[in-house]
Amino acid sequence: MLKLEGVNAAYGQSQVLWDVHLEVRDAEAVTLIGRNGVGKTTLLRAITGLHPITSGQVRLNGEHVQQDPAYARARSGLAYVPQGRGLFPHLTVHENLLMGLPALNGRPNARHDLPELIYDLFPILHDMAGRKAGNLSGGQQQQVAIGRALVTQPRYLLLDEPTEGIQPSIVQEIEAALTRIRRELRVAVLLVEQYLDFAWAFADRYYVMQKGRVVETGLTAETPTRDVQRYLGV
């Protein structure tokens, strides 16, 4: 389980996360929603170790990891796909996927059928393997970014607005791949998302953030999207 308890974080003097409690159980899909600027990205970065927390706890499978650097958390099973995807545009699709491999150093039981597994999940990438990532469409780039995260063989996959700027047919492909990632690879997913229909179709549970705090949580199956729409203000 990934568990956050009483997490606070700031940029300089400006506090942006307030006493955040959140958990993602094994192989669970959880979505985190809220308006722009409420702190969702900061929370993902705090979980991965890319942004320091000022107090609170981040636990991964019971172990406290809040003092661990980002690379150590990656080795402990956390993978992060940032908003904007963070690809290397001048490297090929295949080279981008291989960038995930160093996270496997020193890991016993690492799979060696990578990135074939990724090409199986996202067949279009197989045809594009030699193309420069910067020349791909937004949806294809998102698939590369998710694929690169999977190369690290995570237990927990954190995704920041994967559908942003992507056409609906590709969103469906991404949803189908994420569902397989959960079911077949047993990877838990924490999804930051503004596109509620997608988030609700995919996730079991949701958290809502407002001004740096978690203000509501529940089961997506028991909560119509219209009940949480007001938190997005659209």
Binding site for ligand ATP (CB under 6 A): 11, 16, 34, 36-42, 83
Tell me the H-state helices in the chain. Answer: 40-48, 70-75, 93-98, 116-121, 123-127, 138-151, 168-185, 196-202
Nearer to ligand ATP, 38 or 228 (CB): 38
| Cβ 80 to ligand ATP shortest distance, Å | 13
> CA 134 → CA 21, 58, 141, 142, distances in Å?
37, 34, 8, 11
Residue type, 15: Q
Cβ neighbors of 136 (< 8 A, separation 6 or more) are: 93, 128, 144
| Cβ 83 to ligand ATP shortest distance, Å | 6
| Cβ 160 to ligand ATP shortest distance, Å | 7
Nearer to ligand ATP, 19 or 120 (CB): 19
Nearer to ligand ATP, 20 or 128 (CB): 20
Among 43, 54, 49, residue whose Cα is nearest residue 71: 49
Nearer to ligand ATP, 34 or 49 (CB): 34
Nearer to ligand ATP, 28 or 164 (CB): 164
| Cβ 233 to ligand ATP shortest distance, Å | 12
Q: Are 23 and 1 in contact (CB under 8 A)?
A: yes
Looking up tokens 């959880």 gives 30
| Cβ 164 to ligand ATP shortest distance, Å | 9
Residue 126 to residue 215: CA distance in whole angstroms = 42
Q: Are 179 and 202 in contact (CB under 8 A)?
A: yes
